[in-house]
Amino acid sequence: MASRSPEHRQDEAGYAAAWSRFARSVIAIAAFLGVSVIASVAMLDPYGLRAAPGHPPGPIMDANQRLAYPQIARGGAFDAAVFGTSTARLLDPDALDRAFGARFANLAMNAATPDEQLHLAALFLARRPVRAILFGLDATWCAADPPARTANAFPDWLYAEGAPWGVLRQVNLRSVTAAAQVGLARFGLARPRIRSDGYAVFTPPEDRYDAERARAHIRAGAADPAAPADPPDAPMPALDRLDRFLGGVPAQALKLLVFMPVHAVAQGAPLTAAGRREAACKARVATIGTAHGATVVDFRIASPLTTRDANYWDALHYRLPVAARIVTDLKAAAATGAEDPAGVYRVLAHP
């Protein structure tokens, strides 16, 4: 076999050196771009990792509440908050502020499990003196085995104190997009997706209300009276956790535990398995409320509010005028401890 010439060997060495320089350049450029992306996202802080009572979060551009709300819980001049599911989302913090003389954030999340709500509430409680807490309660609080999570991603690290390694954890395509939108919002080129107090109207505009369509949705969401349910004496672990959480809320704070007004057809009817379970759940919440000086208000009853189809978009979601009425009714219930003369709500416990 003929040996390669010195010129050939020199060319190969040159090619190898060139490829080595090229590879180093690519790695250097990739590293520079990676560090630049991390630095840019950290600077724009789309999920409010730097938020604190004296450092409010910036524009909220990610509509995913599980990503957006921790920054509100960490920062801002709030001393009161709403926790719950979509049945509590339409309670306007501005109206609650006027009713109770506090500074509310609405941190109710669509389809939030009790575990998710309590994680968020614990983060809120840890960051400030609290003057008022409102929990909007739904059937999941009564379950013997409530799910910890839903199909919606819940980033536990974002709810941990200090959000450990958050600068690196938040670097992904979604956060880069949110960071870019934050930048646009700060220059007035985009509008925040959620108000700085967490409030957003997620129902259609009121002028698009279609009574027939709403009636069809209400009937589709009706509870099956023959459906099995947990026995009345089965455990209620979510309520046990709520009991422990309320023990950490300042004694002088206003505490409202509110069974939200879903349409009557979605409620457990009396004498059914679901109805008996709901009654046992309400009794348990009343006991918890009494122990912690909370006002427990029950809108989850058949009433002039919950039997009128025109008040609802579907079996679970009431319209904006109903939300305004709920705030007014809560103010009266907390002030007097008396039940509504029209039968819209009952007071199950009052300090």
CA nearest to 80, candidates 19, 144, 125: 125
CA nearest to 74, candidates 199, 242, 198: 198
CA distances from 48 to 101, 158, 297 (A): 27, 10, 34
Backbone angles phi, psi at 135, to 5 degrees: -105, 120
Residue 143 burial by CB count (10 A; 0-12/13-18/19+): exposed, middle or buried?
buried
Ramachandran area for residue 45 (φ above 0: left; ψ -120 to 50: alpha; else beta): left
Backbone angles phi, psi at 52, to 5 degrees: -155, 165
Counting other chains too, the contacts that 61-64 makes at CB distance below 8 Å and 24 or more residues apart are 61/178, 61/181, 61/182, 61/185, 61/190, 61/192, 61/193, 62/174, 62/175, 62/178, 62/193, 63/193, 63/194, 63/200, 64/152, 64/153
pLDDT score for 53 = 76
Counting other chains too, the contacts that 182-188 makes at CB distance below 8 Å and 24 or more residues apart are 182/44, 182/45, 182/46, 182/58, 182/59, 182/61, 183/44, 185/58, 185/59, 185/61, 186/58, 186/59
pLDDT score for 32 = 60
Token pair, residue 281, equals 């759940």
Q: Other CB atoms closer than 10 Å to residue 29's CB: what's the count?
A: 10
Spell out a b/e string for 205-216, using b for 16 or more CB atoms within 10 Å of the CB, else e: eeeeeeeeebee
pTM across the whole model: 0.89
pLDDT score for 7 = 57
Alpha-carbon 330 to chain mean position: 21
pLDDT score for 59 = 86
Residue reference for tokens 């509310």:
104
CA nearest to 176, candidates 29, 40, 48, 32: 40
**Rounded Cα–Cα distance for residues 258 and 126 (Å):** 23
CB 47, CB 71: distance < 8 Å = yes
What's the Rg (C-alpha) of the chain? 26
pLDDT under 50 in the chain at which residues?
1
pLDDT score for 1 = 46
CA nearest to 65, candidates 96, 104, 127, 111: 111
Backbone angles phi, psi at 194, to 5 degrees: -135, 140
Helices H / strands E in the chain, number of each? 11, 6
